[in-house]
Structure 1
Amino acid sequence: MPKPIRDGAGPRHVAIIMDGNGRWAQRRGRPRLFGHHAGAKRVREIVEACPDIGVKYLTIFAFSTENWRRTQSEVAGLMSLFRRYITKEARALREENVRVRFIGDRVRLDDKLVTLMDELELMTADCTGVNLTIAINYGGRDEVARATKRLAEDVAAGKLDPASVNEETLPKYLDTCVLPDPDLVIRTSGEARISNFLLWQSAYAEYEFVDTLWPDFGAGEFGKLVGAYGTRDRRYGGVKA
């Protein structure tokens, strides 16, 4: 169990790029979907660790807009896994007081999955514990493009004065409009790139790139990274007097 973080020292919002499921499976001579199933089980451990270390918001990158380029069988398997995960975990998430939200473009997702997503959001809407946000068919550039389109529509309709648009306006149109920006972004599996994840929101986030493959990433390592965040000097472009 990770050690508790003193109030105010740790990140309030942690976002995770859960990478390495496929490689984890292949190293064991198993199909890639075996790794995705193992990775899905790891999510619960990380969610359960959040309250003890002061993490109020957790956002996980489950499926990107670019992931449709994978093989048809892997994509179909992932969509089946998402449906199964929601169905299996819904009651436990509710009982553990976890509020669940989904971000991303739902247009391309199948109707059954979207219905399950809607139902889980509604079921946990009054939960006050950890805020778990799951990004499915999500891409940072796609999100900004969709937000900009909605903003432009409001300008065209006379609901928004173009002269009033500033850097505080666009976030109101993003999928994450009700969430604080992430303080810490973690990527597993040894890759050191952000892969189109929360581009606008992570402008001042701290990053941690770790070699651990996602199915091996446990609460202990998570707690160490959250604890290390408190040692960083965050100046937001300024300097200390």
Structure 2
Amino acid sequence: MEVKHLAIIMDGNGRWAQKRLKPRFFGHQEGAKKIQNITESCLYLGIKYLSLYAFSTENWKRPQKEIDFLIQLLNQYLTQKKQIYLDSNIRFRSIGDISIFPQKLQAKIKELENFTKHCNKLTQILALNYGSKDELRRTFLKLHKNNSIITQESITQSLDTADFPEVDMLIRTGGEQRLSNFLLWQSAYAELFFTKTLWPDFSHKELAQMLEEFSLRQRRFGGI
């Protein structure tokens, strides 16, 4: 079986840093580096869509200093990786309600999406101020505004992920075993993988092993 769309909940940055007697910020920096590594792994492994849970609607509950650092880190990431995306033929997309972010950051997100829109080897999707419940709320408001008939198809085509296939495989690092409001509709029939490995330690080898296990599973989608 082929994994066309892989989703990852990148958990464990803070604990990774604390285990090394470092501030949580240090873990987020290492986690950002791992995004590049795992994206390259997905390119090598032939995965076409990679969705990463970068900043959730619930993350605003964190201390303001950490929020400010995460926004600054995202800004740096988008700037530093711009040419890498192009050189690697990676299309960048975001999902979530980015209207809450500073105007300059919103512009940078849209700029990178436009800059890479012709790339077609892999689509990397960052979930930014994203929560599945909020996505569904915004979707139903959109359908109501347009006087659309509500069907499974109309919902799917009005989600942030309307241009992407459903999730085949969802990984959560860091030891927790829950979806935490990430791509709930899109992952209805995803194969779930949970690992105790903290995100900064997640490796190409472990990803490849999970993909091997995925290939051995039988996906019946409710059938026999």
For the superposition of Structure 1 and Structure 2, which TM-score range results when normalised by the shorter chain?
A: over 0.9
Runs of 4+ in structure 1 displaced over 4 angstroms?
none
Q: Give per-residue Cα distances to partners, 1:176-199, cap 9 Å, x unaligned.
A: 000001100000000000000001
Shift of 1:115: 0.8
Kept in 2, the 8 Å contact 1:183–1:202? The answer is: yes
Kept in 2, the 8 Å contact 1:102–1:133? The answer is: yes
Kept in 2, the 8 Å contact 1:10–1:227? The answer is: no
- In the alignment, which of 194, 210, 216 is matched to residue 209 of structure 1? 194
Give the corresponding residue for 1:48.
40
SS of the residue 2:8 aligns to: strand
Equivalent-residue separation in structure 1 for 2:221 and 2:46 (angstroms):
22
Give the corresponding residue for 2:171.
186
Shift of 1:54: 2.2
Q: Give per-residue Cα distances to partners, 1:146-184, cap 9 Å, x unaligned.
A: 0000000000xxxx3x3xx31111011100000001100
Equivalent-residue separation in structure 2 for 1:226 and 1:98 (angstroms):
21
Q: Give the aligned residue type for 1:168.
A: E
Equivalent-residue separation in structure 2 for 1:36 and 1:112 (angstroms):
21
Shift of 1:50: 1.2
Give the corresponding residue for 2:66.
74
Q: Give per-residue Cα distances to partners, 1:87-130, cap 9 Å, x unaligned.
A: 00111111100000000001211111111100100000000111
Q: Give the aligned residue type for 1:18.
A: M
SS of the residue 1:50 aligns to: helix
- In the alignment, which of 154, 158, 161 is matched to residue 176 of structure 1? 161
Q: Give the aligned residue type for 1:200.
A: W
SS of the residue 1:115 aligns to: helix
- In the alignment, which of 47, 58, 63 is matched to residue 55 of structure 2? 63
Unpaired stretches in structure 2, ≥5 consecutive residues: none
TM-score by length of 2: 0.98
Equivalent-residue separation in structure 2 for 1:74 and 1:128 (angstroms):
34
Shift of 1:51: 2.6
Q: Kindly report the root-mean-square deviation, in angstroms, between the aligned alpha carbons of the 2 structures.
A: 0.8
Q: Give the aligned residue type for 1:24.
A: W
Give the corresponding residue for 2:211.
226
Equivalent-residue separation in structure 1 for 2:88 and 2:46 (angstroms):
16
Equivalent-residue separation in structure 2 for 1:48 and 1:193 (angstroms):
26
Q: Give per-residue Cα distances to partners, 1:10-45, cap 9 Å, x unaligned.
A: 311100000000000011111101000000000111
Instruction: Give % identity.
Output: 45
Alignment: residue pair count: 224
Equivalent-residue separation in structure 2 for 1:166 and 1:87 (angstroms):
40
Give the corresponding residue for 1:26.
18
The higher radius of gyration belongs to 1
Whether 1:196 and 2:181 are equivalent positions in the alignment is yes
Q: Give per-residue Cα distances to partners, 1:55-98, cap 9 Å, x unaligned.
A: 11100000000000000000000000000000001111111000
TM-score by length of 1: 0.91
